[in-house]
Amino acid sequence: MDLRRLRALQAVVDTGSVTAAADQVGYTPSAVSQHVAALERETGAVLLERAGRGIRPTEAGRLLAEHARDLMAKVAEAEAAISALQSGNLGTLRVVSFPTAGASLIPPALAMVRQELPHVEVALRVAERDDSMPMLRQGEVDVVVTVGDFAAGEAPRDGLTWVHLLDDPYRLVLPRGHRLAGRRVIDLAELAEDDWVETMCGVGCCQEASSKAFRNAGYEPHWTVEADEYWPAQGFVAAGLGVAMIPSLGLGVLHDSVVVRRLRKDKEPVRHVWAATRPALLGNTPVKTMLRALEQAAGEHVRAMRDGPRAR
């Protein structure tokens, strides 16, 4: 049954008049009569009967009008819920990020979202690109922060919306007593004879970026120890077990016994950090707010990396 017809019937029952019902719902009296007649054909029941100069509902009419009243209330409730969801006053924002973004970009971005949209719940997960992108495509999450093998302006046309956040350069992490610790910029080729700490958390295009840098420097590093995360890698460097190459997002906290130095710009490996969502979500206030907050957090990280005292 058409909701407009049910609304017209409810108005007639409530007001006792086709003309008054027409004024209430914004239809013409003729349209109200046509809606009621159509309902009578669909239900096979007489819904209104004449009573002197007026009309009154039959038992079937009163029954259907009561159901119409409940349905109209549910429709109004649904409209209010959708409006609240779109405006950010209701719902859950589901975000997935890779680990180092989860430590450096996500916290300040979530703080901004929470300040603007205090009633939105945020569900955060950590996953690498091979796992997070299928989640996004299948509708399991709303926003993914990931590393792409494409630079700004080169986003793929794959049915998703991509927002470039930042280019994350790799930095050299050296023991404080290293022979090159006093330099501000170092050529990777100068470390060909050093022992290296391998960071196993760099996978996919992250691993490819560092491998390409070593190939361009003309050597394969001598790995002495493996670290599953960037913080333990700093500990190994501090202990004098080797040097390491770590992206700037992985250097939010620095070990007291290490120094961070830049690589020559023309030989500096970089990973490209992006946020992705589905085009259908671009009108969703929590998603828009999260993307804007991520861009702001990324900009603050780039400024800190440029101006920071430890040359990050």
With tokens 């993914």, the residue in question is 144
Cα torsion 301, 303, 304, 307 to 10°: value is 160
Q: Has residue 22 been placed in a domain?
A: yes
Per mean pLDDT, which range of 20-24, 218-222, 291-295 is the poorest?
20-24
**Boundary-marking domain end, from 87, 110, 135:** 87
Give the model confidence (pLDDT) of 167-184 as tens digits.
999 999 999 999 999 999
- The percent of residues in the chain predicted with pLDDT above 90, rounded, is 55
154 domain residue, yes or no: yes
Count how many domains the chain has. Answer: 3
- Where residue 97 sits, what CATH number does that domain have? 3.40.190.10
Instruction: Please check whether residue 153 lies inside any domain of the structure.
Output: yes
From 87, 119, 147, give the residue that closes a domain: 87
pLDDT tens by residue, 193-251: 999 999 876 556 567 788 889 999 999 999 999 998 888 999 999 999 999 999 999 88
Q: Tokens standing for 75? A: 């429709």
Final residue before a domain boundary, out of 87, 103, 126? 87
**Are residues 123 and 248 located together in one domain of the fold?**
no
Band of the pLDDT at 90, cuts 50, 70, 90? low
Within this chain, do residues 50 and 96 fall inside the same structural domain, yes or no? no
What's the rounded mean pLDDT across residues 64-80? 85
Same domain? For 146 and 206 the reply is no
In a domain, 288, yes or no: yes
Domain with 65, as residue range(s), is 3-87
Q: Is 206 left (phi over 0), alpha (psi -120 to 50) or beta?
A: alpha
Asked if residue 312 belongs to a domain, the reply is no
pTM listed for this prediction: 0.70
Tokens 């589905």 map to which residue?
Answer: 278
Q: Is residue 191 part of a domain?
A: yes
